[in-house]
Amino acid sequence: MKTQLFLLSSALALASLTGLAAQAPTPPPQPAPPAPFDQAKALEQLRVQIAGHEKEPAEAVYKNIKTLRGVPAGALLRVMEYGYSRSLGVSCVHCHTPTDWSSDEKTPKAITRRMADFSDDLNAKLRAIPELTGREPVVNCTTCHRGQLKPALNLDSPGKAAAEGTRPPD
């Protein structure tokens, strides 16, 4: 019996030294993280897809256009890139799913549509103010967002703006 215990303990010791002892199962490999979204590449692909249809209304070229109906399809890409993306400091994927641009699954897309309607309403009211002559008053995403997702809620103090030379003339 002592011989059997000795042999068993020797075999276990030898197995652990040679790596044959029971080991925890190796976890399966994790999938590689998705490549970062390349907005310039995505926009270029969309430009290629709509080639020859740039002057057609956006709703005739793209699916699920609810805002900016009547805007030429080629111009819509510029509006999205500069009017929305740059004005809010986000990329296309903030509102869109690149595998299905027409999808409404993302909440920011619905919010953006409602904010566009809000801007349209404000602009109509601004145009109705007769004292605003000599220039076309416009409110757009940049008016409040200034390239940030969260709109600017506070202004710099007048002293700071004046000291930095960023205060507009009176």
Tokens 């000599």 belong to 134
Q: Tell me whether residue 4 is in a domain.
A: no
Q: Tell me whether residue 52 is in a domain.
A: yes
Q: Tell me whether residue 119 is in a domain.
A: yes
Q: Tell me whether residue 31 is in a domain.
A: no
pLDDT in tens, 44-77: 999 999 999 999 999 999 999 999 999 999 999 9
Q: Tell me whether residue 6 is in a domain.
A: no
The secondary structure of the chain, three-state, reads: CHHHHHHHHHHHHHHHHHCCCCCCCCCCCCCCCCCCCCHHHHHHHHHHHCCCCCCCEHHHHCCCCCCCCCCEHHHHHHHHHHHHHHHHCCCHHHCCECCECCCCCCHHHHHHHHHHHHHHHHHHHHHCCCCCCCCCCCCCHHHHHCCCCCCCCCCCCHHHHHHHCCCCCC
Q: Tell me whether residue 167 is in a domain.
A: no
User: What pLDDT score was predicted for residue 15?
Assistant: 54
Burial call 73-83: b when 16+ CB within 10 Å, e when fewer: bbebbebbeeb
Q: Tell me whether residue 166 is in a domain.
A: no
Which domain range does residue 114 map to? 39-153
Q: What would the mean pLDDT of 30-57 be, rounded to a whole number? A: 92
Q: Tell me whether residue 101 is in a domain.
A: yes
Per the structure, how many domains does the chain have?
Answer: 1
| Overall pTM surpassing 0.85 (yes/no) | no
User: What pLDDT score was predicted for residue 19?
Assistant: 53
pLDDT at 161 over 60: no
User: What pLDDT score was predicted for residue 10?
Assistant: 56
Are 57 and 71 within 8 A, CB to CB?
A: yes
Cα gap 98→35, rounded to integer Å: 13
pLDDT band at 7 (very low <50, low <70, confident <90, very high): very low
User: What pLDDT score was predicted for residue 148?
Assistant: 93
Q: What would the mean pLDDT of 143-163 be, rounded to a whole number? A: 79
pLDDT band at 21 (very low <50, low <70, confident <90, very high): very low
**CATH number, position 132:** 1.10.468.10
pLDDT in tens, 81-139: 999 999 999 999 999 999 999 999 999 999 999 999 999 999 999 999 988 877 788 99
User: What pLDDT score was predicted for residue 5?
Assistant: 47
Task: Give the pair of three-digit tokens for residue 150.
Answer: 């969260």
